[in-house]
Amino acid sequence: MKKILMAILFIIIISLTMWLIRYFYPCSLNDIILNHRVEEKVKRIDVTVLSVHLSKTFNIDNKTTINNLINFLEDIKVRNVISAPNWYRPSMFERYYIQLINENKIIDINFMDKDYLRINHTTYKIVNSPDLKIIYDIITEQQ
């Protein structure tokens, strides 16, 4: 009986450890977007730039700009977090709200600051530190 309990406890500990490793292991933002079952072809992207002095929305339907923005998003590595931090830290050109719009699906990507983002109400920590101003540069290339 004691061996059976030890075996069950061992299996539970191994399962919990595997789950924690998988949960907190960094993954690509592209993997998360694909988990939301979006087809490859994004028809339009809406980007809202939020800062202390500015709130501007850009509607992007140019194919090269969409591809450049998606390529930038694919390179971002994120990991899950247990609790979301306090968000209100306004900064210049550091908050972006991106909507990937397809025919039947919308994915909301909300860059709250340089460390955290939220995808469809799930919070992730950004592991690599991309320069988020590149998003604004990609958008303004189209304009």
> What pLDDT sits at residue 6?
92
What kind of architecture, by CATH, is found in domain 27-142? 2-Layer Sandwich (3.30)
Instruction: Round to whole Å and give the CA distance between 97 and 20.
Output: 29
Kindly state the DSSP code that residue 35 receives in the 8-state scheme.
H
Rounded-to-integer distance, Cα 97 and Cα 118, Å: 9
- Return the axis-axis angle of helices 63-74 and 133-142, rounded to nearest 10°: 170
pLDDT at 27 (0 to 100): 84
Specify the pLDDT at position 36: 60
Give me the residues of the chain with pLDDT under 70, please: 35-40, 52, 87-94, 142-143
Q: Report pLDDT for 93.
A: 54
Q: How far apart are CA 139 and CA 4, in angstroms?
A: 61
pLDDT at 50: 76
The full set of domain ranges for the chain reads 27-142
Question: What pLDDT shows up at residue 8?
Answer: 94
C-alpha span between 16 and 14 (Å, rounded):
5
